[in-house]
Amino acid sequence: MGKYTEPAGDLLQYVGGKENIATVTHCATRMRFVLKDTAKADVTNIESIKLVKGTFTQAGQFQVIIGNEVSSFYNEFVSIAGLQEASKEDVKAAAKQNMSWLQRLVAHLADIFTPLIPAIVVGGLILGFRNIIGDIKMFDDGTKTLVEISQFWSGVHAFLWLIGEAIFHFLPVGITWSISKKMGTTQILGIVLGLTLVSPQLLNAYAVAGTKASDIPFWDFGFAQVDMIGYQAQVIPAILAGFVLAYLERFLRDRVHNSISMIVVPFFALLPTVIIAHTVLGPIGWKIGTVISTVVYSGLTSSFGWLFAAVFGFAYAPLVITGLHHMTNAIDLQLMGSALHGTNLWPMIALSNIAQGTAVLAMIYINRKDEEERQVSIPATISCYLGVTEPAMFGINLKYGFPFLAGMIGSMFAGIVSVGSGVMANSIGVGGIPGILSIQPQHMGMFAVAMLVAFIVPFVLTIVFSKRPQMNLKTRTKPTKLNA
User: Among all residues, which ones are annotated catalytic?
Assistant: 27
Cβ–Cβ < 8 Å for 331, 349: no
CA neighbours within 13 Å on the CB side: how many for 87?
Answer: 3
Q: 274-296 in b/e burial notation, b at 16+ Cβ within 10 A? A: bebbbeebbbebbebbbebbeeb
How many other C-beta atoms are found inside a 10 Å radius of the C-beta of residue 87?
10
Helix (H, G, I), strand (E, B), or coil: what is residue 303? coil
Whole-angstrom CA distances from 25 to 19, 71, 85 are 16, 10, 7
Whole-angstrom CA distances from 162 to 119, 126, 148, 415, 427 are 13, 10, 19, 33, 16
Separation of alpha carbons 466 and 401, rounded Å: 10
Chain centroid to CA 46: 28
**Alpha-helical regions (H) of 323-345:** 327-337
Chain centroid to CA 202: 30
Separation of alpha carbons 426 and 450, rounded Å: 17
What backbone phi and psi angles, to 5 degrees, belong to 376?
-90, -45
Cβ–Cβ < 8 Å for 430, 349: no
Cβ–Cβ < 8 Å for 22, 90: no
Beta bridge partners of 425: 343, 439
| Amino acid, single-letter form, for residue 215 | D
Q: Which residues contact 75 (CB under 8 A, 6 or more apart)?
A: none
Cβ–Cβ < 8 Å for 431, 425: no
Cβ–Cβ < 8 Å for 314, 349: no
Sheet of 61-65, strand order: 21-26, 30-35, 61-65, 54-58
- DSSP-assigned letter for residue 200: T
